[in-house]
Chains A and B, each alone.
Chain A
Amino acid sequence: MSRECLGFAPMLSARPGELGAADEEALRRHLAGCDACQARLADGAAAAGLVAEGLLAAAARVDLAPLADEVMARVGRRGLAGALRWLARHRAVAAATALAPAALALGLVLYFGGEADVAPLAGEVEVVAEGFAPVVLTGEEGPVVLLGEAAEGS
């Protein structure tokens, strides 16, 4: 293998788009004049194809149908006792996980103070009176509340 071929050898296994434009052009020019590197490139492609085929074949031979049943069977065997053992070994994590939502909720309540934070608008007037009918006049200067006429029966 010539020194030039040694320099291009790592590029032969590059994926499409992996090489820069300059390297890709240099490799293309080298391959055009080097039968040995063309042969190596063909061998690599064939090997990659064989590996891919082999992996697909191996995956196809695996039967995943009983996987879910096997997992559920293992969970059933470990069950509550297993979960409790895990919790006993990781008390701090378990406690923090359980308390974190409560602490977060408490923090939010303390921070916002439960305020219904709807800003009242200027001009909002609400009058409650017994025995008479109030009258509210509104204007740019502000509201005027008049006691109005006494209601009937008062």
Chain B
Amino acid sequence: MQRTSALVAISLAAGLAPRAAAPAEPAIPVRVRVIKGSRQGPPAIDPRLEYLRGHLGKLAWQRWEQVSEEGREMRFRRPERFALPAGESLELTLEDARRDTVTFRVRLPARQAQSRLTISKDQRIVHQITDEKGGEALFATVRPWP
């Protein structure tokens, strides 16, 4: 019977060993910016948003400025909540990260909306977060490894 126990223990150890040796899940730095798009005034882009020109240039809003900016270290499947103007919030979850891609879930609890987006590591996400009022709307941008 001792031999049986030893065999079972060896089998379990063989199964567990690779897991035990696996490194801890790394954190991925993510920068979230809240930006405001406006249809009024001359076309302009806040210099801090220059890297988003390709994104923003194809939208109807022509004047862009940054409202807030926050960086977080995100871990897998741990939702991070970001405060938005007017008391709303945005919940961001890192769902998957591969060699070339990363997948986020973006939730807007107040609007009962959520998106699951996979981007390559050099891409950014732009997500509208408020309805347009008076020609203005707020957006969130998500940038991993800023």
Contacts and interface: CB of A to CB of B under 8 A. Distances in A.
Interface residues of B, number: 42
Contacts, number: 134
A21 B8 CA distance: 57
Contacts of A99: 4, 7-8, 11
B70 interface: no
Contacts of B7: 92, 95-96, 99-100, 103
A128 B113 contact: yes
B54 A107 contact: no
Contacts of A144: 55, 58-59, 126-128
7 contacts: A107-B16, A111-B15, A111-B18, A122-B100, A127-B114, A144-B126, A145-B128
A87 to B, nearest CB: 12
Interface stretch (A6-14, A40-48, A71-79, A135-143): A135-143
Given A99-B8, A100-B11, A126 B116 contact: yes
Q: Top 8 A-B pairs ranked by shortest CB distance?
A: A107-B15, A103-B11, A142-B123, A129-B113, A122-B120, A95-B4, A92-B3, A141-B54
Contacts of B1: 91-92, 95
A106 interface: yes
- Chain A interface extent, by class: 35 or more
Contacts of A100: 7, 11
Interface string A105-146: 011111101000001111111111111101001011111111
A107 B11 contact: yes
B48 interface: no
A89 to B, nearest CB: 14
A128 B114 CA distance: 5
Interface of B: 1, 3-4, 7-8, 11-12, 14-16, 18-19, 52, 54-55, 58-59, 96, 98, 100-101, 103, 106, 111-120, 123-131
Contact of B115 (A120, A125, A142): A125
A122 B96 CA distance: 12
A129 B127 CA distance: 13
A147 interface: yes
Contacts of B100: 122
A106 B129 CA distance: 45
A140 B119 CA distance: 10
Contacts of A92: 1, 3-4, 7
A104 interface: yes
Contacts of A122: 100-101, 118-120, 123
Nearest to B103: A120
Contacts of A120: 96, 98, 101, 103, 118
A134 to B, nearest CB: 7
A17 to B, nearest CB: 48
